[in-house]
Amino acid sequence: MLGNIFHTMNNRRLRSTPIPGTRDDYTGIDFNLGFHVRSYHLDINYRVGPNNLSGIATLHLDNWKPLASMTLDLAPSMRVTRITAQGSAGHTVKVARFRQSGGKLRITFAQEIPVDSEFSLAIRYAGTPRPIRSPWGDIGWEELENGALVASQPIGAPSWFPCDDTPDEKALYEIVVTTDNPHVVAVNGSLVSKKTAGSCTTWHYRVGHPMASYLATVQIGEYIQLGLSAPGDIPVRAWVPAELRESAREEFADQARMLALYTELFGPYPFNSYSVIVTEDELEIPLEAQGLSVFGSNHIQGDRTWERLIAHELSHQWFGNSLGLAQWNDIWLNEGFACYSEWLWFEHSAGRPADDSAREHYDELAAEPQDLIISDPGPRDMFDDRVYKRGALTVHALRVLLGDAPFFRMLRRYVAAGAHSVVEPVDLKREVLLEAATLEIPEQEVKDLWRAWLHQPELPRFPEPRG
């Protein structure tokens, strides 16, 4: 059983650089070292009224060093009551004791687990889920007026399940949620089954591609489904409150066209479907998850005011979700490409050249303080708008350097090479240098551009075609 699970995992490397120490410098949280979680099976029961969650999380793991003990991330609001372990053939694994402290679930084994073992942990837990307080606000499981949502970037996943909450540790997921009727449950992946018994319904989803823990989500509300697909292979749908049906249909009218454009520019859509969820509550910003995006009722005005954000969130399915991050200081790879995708959409849909959008945002950045290095902005500024916009301008500078056809050829190669894995700036740089060499662009010219845009605080000159 365990061996079959491991063999289904994507065998591409997760990162090319060693783990930098024992603590994540951006989140301030200690790494959980010595093992990989290969898959999660989350079977949870959520009562909407009292905001109560109980569940069993079954984790399938292998270890790259001997383990006498281990840690997982889990918020104090979720209390563990029991852990059982199972080893693979020839290996006995038994939990001696466990405790929770400092946002960690600390597990000690009766005997040291030899290196390169396969084993599983079944963790029974319950509590009143709430967001985790962080320097970036309250993040994770959030109770709504009539349901719940999960938005976990960067440290919110432990608000609702025990996990190894670091972006480069992708895993497969099965998520089973039982909740009160008539609430709908929208989760990452494909719906396997839906079964009603009495006053509750159980929704079973399977995520068929490796996923970072911060991208795992549960969305619960009284929603109806809208089909947004144009003819094609990828289902595109929306889950919305009934009273927002017509406004949402207008707001997302171009969603399938956006997907078709990005497929042409970046390569095949990386997942089996795409969904947008519109909550009854207002949200400050839209939220991304793997295979879906979440918008507040305030984003659905029926006048396409938020068109750029609809395009932005969709593009994260390539940049951030399929091509994941190795570490948080590389956040510009996610957000720079997503911002540039907004400009690409308007270049296609409205005939506004990306160069015009780039110029507008360049002028805005020029008026801002020049004290941010986007390759390593620091935890305080990792979500600063300057990281997003200067990241997009870096992408534009690469396009101007290479020219349109070579740039998009390079981009499709980069996306294909990193699909369902993690990427680092070195992966993008490698593809740029390869394309530049075919165009006889000096390597030093690429390196100078790279250093100026990513590693120096001063804003470089606006990108102009090579003379």
Beta carbons within 8 Å of 6's beta carbon, 6+ residues apart: 38, 60, 62, 118
| Catalytic one of 26, 173, 205, 388 | 388
Side-chain half-sphere CA neighbours of 451 within 13 A: 6
DSSP, collapsed to helix, strand or coil, labels residue 278 as: strand
Question: Per the annotation, does 60 bind a ligand?
Answer: no
312 is in an annotated binding site: yes
Q: What CA–CA distance (Å, rounded) separates 74 from 160? A: 8
d(CA 158, CA 77): 10
* CA–CA separation, 294 and 275 (whole Å): 9
CA-closest candidate to residue 136, choices 152, 159, 150, 149: 152
User: Which residues face 38 on adjacent strands?
Assistant: none
- The tokens describing 72, both together, are 């997982």
Residue 13's alpha-carbon distances to 118, 419, 467, in angstroms, are 19, 11, 40
- Peptide bond between residue 369 and the one before it cis (omega within 30 degrees of 0): no
Please identify which residue in the block is written with the tokens 């490698």.
Answer: 430
Question: CB–CB of 387/332 below 8 Å?
Answer: yes
**Whether 440 is catalytic:** no
Q: Is the peptide bond before 460 cis (omega within 30 degrees of 0)?
A: no
For the chain, the C-alpha Rg in angstroms (whole number) is 22
- Residue 173 annotated among the catalytic residues of the structure: no
The active-site residue out of 118, 142, 313, 342 is 313
Three-state DSSP class for residue 399:
helix
Question: 319 φ, ψ to 5°?
Answer: -100, 95
CA atoms of 372 and 143, how far apart (whole Å): 35
Listed residue (170, 33, 61, 68) closest to 120, CA to CA: 61
Phi and psi at residue 302, to the nearest 5°: 75, 10
Both structure tokens of 226 = 């809208």
- Angle at which helices 404-417 and 255-266 pack, to 10 degrees? 90
Annotated binding site for Zn(2+): 312, 316, 335
Annotated binding site: 312, 316, 335
Q: Which residues are catalytic?
A: 313, 388
